[in-house]
Structure 1
Amino acid sequence: MTTPRVSYAHLLVQPNPKHVRSLVRFFEQGCSAPGTGGFGVEIEHLPVHNADDTAVTYGEPNGVEELLRRLRPYYDADQEYWQDDHLVGLGREGLAVSLEPGGQIETSIGILRKPEELLALHGRFIEEAQPILDELGFRLVNYGYQPKTSFADIPLNPKRRYAAMNEYLGRIGQFGPCMMRASASTQVSIDYTSERDAIAKMRLGTAIGPILAWFFRNTPYFEGARNPWPLCRQRMWDYLDVQRTNVTPGLYDERFSWEDYAADVLSTPLMFADLTHTPECKGRPEHELEFAAFCSNAADVYPDRELNAYEVNHVLSTHFNDVRLKNFIEMRHWDSLPVERAERLTQIVGDLFYDPERRGRLESYFSGLTGEDVHAAKAVLQSRGGDAKPYDRPMEYWAEVLGVGDTLDQVPGDAMRPEVRQG
């Protein structure tokens, strides 16, 4: 590997070069062979009571924890995840079930070779969960935000990192506690073949993601009332924490590299330090292995050596750009969707990113794009909705170019029962 360029010298806090190398090596190991790309899909579900559509919490009687406990027989014993005697995750081949801070239930599905495989794998999850849900008296809905309950009435689940995130995000920005407790998303991940391919896909995904978010919007409610924003999820994340969200800094600079992405991540406060897999810390008390790190970045927390895979994954997981780089590319723009719409979104992503001809046409259109152009497109979508002209083109144009014409009539649904539906 070549010596890292000093392209991040503007940073006030310099990252540890050994840490930079370990992230870059991690990205290199994620390269897949051309023509073998797959998909990963994450769908977060909001648990709501059948009686009144209010949020179901993790610790309440017959709540989210009880659902996980009853689902255990369907999953592998060696893929159970516990926190202080509380069950917080399950896994098996092709499917992992985990929790977001407010008890939202996330299904991570893949690796998929064809988008339509999503329906079968998610369908099995629902088939197993539905009889249990019926007994417990709640259901899982797909909205971008809880339909009735305010974030202030939803306690955090018992993962220690969420307590630290809550304190940190509650002190900055505008929507941290709302996002943590009451929002839900759909995320689609794709593969890359090289550094150049990864950066090109990140640029394209960052540019078109907000437009796709409009066509797949699914947030009818916010804080117990009608959602006032054309793109509620974008509004929350853009105003959450400028250090770790929105458009990746420098992404559209022609010199941008994996080293620059690594340096940006490593120079940002971790929020939460996790030393549970750091050999040098073996034997330390628990509170010294997991703790809040509001002002500390990776160089302050981890030893002066290359990071191991667990440490790398933790550091990368503390960043939330619109398009996130791991050993795959994760696009994070979209509201929680019913599985049929999530499958259609995955098809569209596959067509745009894995079809060389279609991708080439889009990349040609966006030649010379800047980060400021993307910010402007996001702003006009947020202010004008369907009347917007992102990148100086009307939404009808983008519907045709992106292949989403069949979704134009699929506006946010209303799965709430009529007697409790809100005005």
Structure 2
Amino acid sequence: MHTPRVSYAHLGAKVNSKHVDSLLTFFQEGVKPASKDRYGVEIEHLPVLHGSDLSVPYQGEAGVKALLMALRPYYQADLEYWERGQLLGLGRPGISISLEPGAQVEASIGPLDQADQLTGIYEDFRRELDPLADGLGFRLVTYGYQPRSSFTDIKVIPKSRYQSMTQYLGAQGQFGLCMMRCSASTQVSIDYRDEADAIAKLRLGSALGPILALFFRNSPYFEGQTNPYPLLRQRIWDFTDFQRTNIIPGLFDPRFSWEDYAIDVLATPLMALDLTHTPEAVGQSASQLQRSAFRENAADVYPDRRLNDYEVRHLLSTHFNDVRLKNLVELRHWDSLPIDRAQALTSLVGSLFYDPDRFRPLADWSQGLSEADVFAAKADIQAHGPRSHPYGRDMDQWRDLLAVPQIQEPGSSDPDHPGVAQH
């Protein structure tokens, strides 16, 4: 392994070279040929009670846990996820169901060979789920933030990782607990062909993500009031924990590599430790296998050896950059969307990132940007919304350039639109 260009010695952070190699191998294993350009789509849903539109808890006879239990016959028993006696996830080929900290229901769909396959799989999911949820007295809505409930009203589900995140993020930034308990997103994952292609997609996704987020924004509410922020999701994440969110450090440096990203992940405190798949930890108690790690990074807690895939995936999941690298490129800017808008977004992502005639000129443009340029564009959009001029173009010009479809934003005519609570 060559010597890293980025040194964290001045921060006192230890980075194990075998751990770095493990992440690089994981990234390399994600390489796909052009013929395998596929999609993964995650849509998070907010469970709200009929009538009041208040959030639905995980526990209780009519809670989200009861919904998962009722859904079990539709999914494979060997793909269920349980933790300490609690059902927290379901799965079958093509789709898995998991829970975010505030009992948001996430549907992860894919891999999809074509973007237009999304709607059919999603509609099957809702056709099975909606009658069961209705029978329990609630429904799932697709907004970027809970319509009525405050983060103080919502309990975190019984998952060890989320207990640690509550303690850590609750003390780090302005909106960590709001993010965990009340927010919901749409995320689109895409394949890459090699390291250069992955980095080009990370850069372009980071530069264009806020622009697309404005066109697809879907957060009418914040803490029971009208949302005051043009991009609520961006505002929340940018003020959650800067060392693991926002733009990947160094991404727009022309020398940036997978190794730089690996070192950044490995040098950062873990927040939540998971040793459940670490052979050397066999025999430790449950509280030792999954615990908080606010000051320890990977070199402090994992053995001096190459990491297995489970350990690598856990480490990568402790970072929440605007665009995240795993064994795919995960675009994370967008609010939870109803299926017609999620389908339009996924198709647009495909045209921008998989069509060489569209991708190459955009990638060349983004390669000429600096990190400061992207921060300035984000700030412009956050301050001025539809009247902003990111990178010197107004939003109408960006709509035309990117061929963003005209899709009506939700409003009072939306049958799921619950109105705004007056406090």
**TM-score normalised by the chain length of structure 2:** 0.97
Matched, 1:35 2:35: yes
Identify which of 3, 6, 15 aligns with 1:5: 3
What is the rounded CA distance, in whole Å, between the counterparts of 1:419 and 1:180 in structure 2?
22
CA distance 1:17–1:139, shift in 2 (3 Å): same
Q: Is this contact kept in 2: 1:45–1:140, CA < 8 A? A: yes
**Pairwise mapping of residues 4-403 of structure 1 onto structure 2 (< 5 A)?**
4-11=2-9, 12=11, 13-403=13-403
Instruction: Point out the more displaced range, 57-66 or 17-26.
Output: 57-66
What is the rounded CA distance, in whole Å, between the counterparts of 2:336 and 2:412 in structure 1?
12
- Look up the match of 1:410: 409
**Alignment length (residue pairs):** 420
CA distance 1:417–1:39, shift in 2 (3 Å): closer
What is the rounded CA distance, in whole Å, between the counterparts of 1:35 and 1:239 in structure 2?
39
Q: Is this contact kept in 2: 1:53–1:416, CA < 8 A? A: no
What is the rounded CA distance, in whole Å, between the counterparts of 1:109 and 1:171 in structure 2?
33
Instruction: Point out the more displaced range, 409-418 or 218-227.
Output: 409-418
The aligned amino acid for 1:390 is P
The aligned amino acid for 2:46 is L
CA distance 1:354–1:417, shift in 2 (3 Å): closer
Q: Is this contact kept in 2: 1:145–1:183, CA < 8 A? A: yes
Q: Is this contact kept in 2: 1:219–1:412, CA < 8 A? A: no
Q: CA RMSD in A?
A: 1.4
Alignment deviations for residues 43-80 of structure 1 (CA, whole Å, 9 cap, x no partner): 00000001210000101321100000000000000001
The aligned amino acid for 2:112 is L
Alignment deviations for residues 206-248 of structure 1 (CA, whole Å, 9 cap, x no partner): 0000000000000000000000100000000001001100000
What is the rounded CA distance, in whole Å, between the counterparts of 2:220 and 2:304 in structure 1?
48
The aligned amino acid for 2:300 is D
CA distance 1:98–1:418, shift in 2 (3 Å): closer
CA distance 1:420–1:410, shift in 2 (3 Å): closer
- Please state whether the residue corresponding to 2:280 is helix, strand or coil: helix
Alignment deviations for residues 353-411 of structure 1 (CA, whole Å, 9 cap, x no partner): 0000101121233341001100000000000000000001100111011111423x435
**5+ residue gaps in structure 1?**
none
CA distance 1:372–1:420, shift in 2 (3 Å): closer
What is the rounded CA distance, in whole Å, between the counterparts of 1:168 and 1:417 in structure 2?
34
What is the rounded CA distance, in whole Å, between the counterparts of 1:374 and 1:414 in structure 2?
35
What is the rounded CA distance, in whole Å, between the counterparts of 1:19 and 1:418 in structure 2?
48
What is the rounded CA distance, in whole Å, between the counterparts of 2:136 and 2:209 in structure 1?
37
Question: How high is the sequence identity, in percent, across the aligned residues?
Answer: 55
Q: Is this contact kept in 1: 2:226–2:420, CA < 8 A? A: no
The aligned amino acid for 1:32 is K
Shift in Å, 1:419:
8.0
**5+ residue gaps in structure 2?**
none
CA distance 1:418–1:348, shift in 2 (3 Å): closer
CA distance 1:170–1:84, shift in 2 (3 Å): same
Alignment deviations for residues 106-147 of structure 1 (CA, whole Å, 9 cap, x no partner): 000000111111111111110111111121010000000000
Alignment deviations for residues 313-350 of structure 1 (CA, whole Å, 9 cap, x no partner): 00000000000000000000000000110010000000
Shift in Å, 1:9:
1.4
- Please state whether the residue corresponding to 1:116 is helix, strand or coil: helix
What is the rounded CA distance, in whole Å, between the counterparts of 1:297 and 1:417 in structure 2?
43
The aligned amino acid for 1:16 is N
